[in-house]
Homo-oligomer: A and B are copies of this chain.
Amino acid sequence: MPDKSKKKVDIVTVAKAARVSASTVSRYFNHPDLLKPATRKRIDTAVRKTGYIRNRAAQTIHGIRSGTIGVLIPTLDHAIFAEVVQAFSDEVADAGFTILLASHGYDLQREYAILRKFLEHRVDGVVLTGLDHDEAVFQLLDQQQIPSVLIWNYAAHSRYPSIGADNELAGRMIADHVLSLGHRRIAVMFPPTQGNDRAQARRDIVLETLAQAGVTVPEDWSLTTVYSISESKQDAQALFAQPDRPTALICGNDVLASGALYAAHATGLSVPHDISIVGIGDFKGSADIEPPLTTVRLPARRIGQEAGQALTQAIIDPTAAQGHSLHVAPILMQRQSARALP
């Protein structure tokens, strides 16, 4: 039915077709209750016939909300970020927002550039991943006075409201757990930490917790491995091949831990009998891997949802106090990849 001719159809095209003024058509969309049912009906058919689609850009220049939220993550390739984004998107979609998504690949400069682009699009809100960002990023946010939230990592005193888990706590929890199982000969495997405050915090706290218990990790038992199952499998295999083996391996995240699990399997080591392996994150497959991975859960979905609620709230009611940080507690998931030393 809709008119297929290429001439652009705008609000006045519809107005003409319905024999009303443009203002009335505008009202049809924004305050339908102000219209006489008969006119409403007339416009309705006109819209249908012309195939009219509202132009959000034209609305936006009136200071009307754009209906978009900019979401800035390191990468979608980590399942955990994909999960947060999905949850966030679902949450804000209900309120009519669409997300503008971009990833910076841990490059702070790109993050700034992308944020600017978001701002050019006049996003109604911004989501940034992690607590640490370039000072220029914060200045831009301050200056534009745009509702923003930092997700994934939590800190009570963050510069903008943060919604996420306390990564230091998570690190301490897993380290404490391993310690409590009686392990003292412990190896660690973490991802590189440049531009990644989350991994950084985790590593530091794990090492510190161990140190406080009098456990020091020898140089060659402290592995740095990129986020990849194959890499971690390889590195762990090398570690396990050494004559002198640790009794436990703490991994900075579950991907690394999965790789380590496979490495153990490939090396003929039995987990948790010969070695205990733990991760951080509780990623999707972690509960089902063999053996099920002991880890601490960082509730991604929950974070996405909470962030979505907080941000829509802040956008819809800008007078309300600038949102508060929210801590989504990590949870120790005791499964079968770690055991107590006899």
Interface residues of A (CB under 8 A from B): 2, 4, 6, 51, 53-58, 60-61, 66-68, 75-77, 79, 82-83, 85-86, 89-90, 93, 98-103, 114, 116-122, 139, 142-145, 229-230, 233, 258-259, 262, 265-266, 284-285, 287-290
Number of copies: 2
A51 touches B82 (CB 8 A): no
Complexed CA–CA distance, A262 and B67 (Å):
44
Identify the 6 closest CB pairs spanning chains A and B, nearest first. Answer: A57-B60, A82-B82, A76-B86, A229-B288, A57-B57, A265-B290
Specify which of B2, B114, B143, B290 is in contact with A266 (CB 8 Å cutoff).
B290
Residues of the B chain whose Cβ atoms lie less than 8 Å from the Cβ of A145: 6
A53-B144 contact given A288-B262, A289-B262, CB 8 Å threshold: yes
Closest chain B residue, CB of each to CB of A265: B290
Residues of the B chain whose Cβ atoms lie less than 8 Å from the Cβ of A89: 76, 101-103
Residues of the B chain whose Cβ atoms lie less than 8 Å from the Cβ of A98: 100-102, 114, 117-118, 121
Residues of the B chain whose Cβ atoms lie less than 8 Å from the Cβ of A83: 76-77
Closest chain B residue, CB of each to CB of A289: B262
Specify which of B4, B55, B68 is in contact with A61 (CB 8 Å cutoff).
B55
A86 touches B103 (CB 8 A): yes
B120 touches A55 (CB 8 A): yes
Closest chain B residue, CB of each to CB of A79: B79
A123 to chain B, nearest CB (A): 10
Closest chain B residue, CB of each to CB of A292: B262
Most buried by B among A68, A98, A266: A98
Complexed CA–CA distance, A233 and B288 (Å):
8
Residues of the B chain whose Cβ atoms lie less than 8 Å from the Cβ of A284: 229
Complexed CA–CA distance, A284 and B284 (Å):
13
A2 touches B57 (CB 8 A): no
Residues of the B chain whose Cβ atoms lie less than 8 Å from the Cβ of A265: 290
A68-B258 contact given A51-B143, A57-B57, A77-B86, CB 8 Å threshold: no
Closest chain B residue, CB of each to CB of A118: B98
Residues of the B chain whose Cβ atoms lie less than 8 Å from the Cβ of A61: 55, 57-58, 61
Complexed CA–CA distance, A53 and B99 (Å):
20
Complexed CA–CA distance, A99 and B89 (Å):
13
Can you list 8 A-B pairs with a CB-CB distance of less than 8 A? Answer: A4-B142, A55-B122, A61-B61, A76-B76, A98-B100, A100-B100, A100-B101, A265-B290
Specify which of B53, B99, B100, B259 is in contact with A288 (CB 8 Å cutoff).
B259
A9 to chain B, nearest CB (A): 10
Complexed CA–CA distance, A266 and B117 (Å):
50
Complexed CA–CA distance, A287 and B265 (Å):
14
Complexed CA–CA distance, A265 and B289 (Å):
10
B288 touches A121 (CB 8 A): no
Complexed CA–CA distance, A196 and B194 (Å):
40
A82 touches B77 (CB 8 A): yes
Complexed CA–CA distance, A102 and B143 (Å):
29
Residues of the B chain whose Cβ atoms lie less than 8 Å from the Cβ of A266: 290
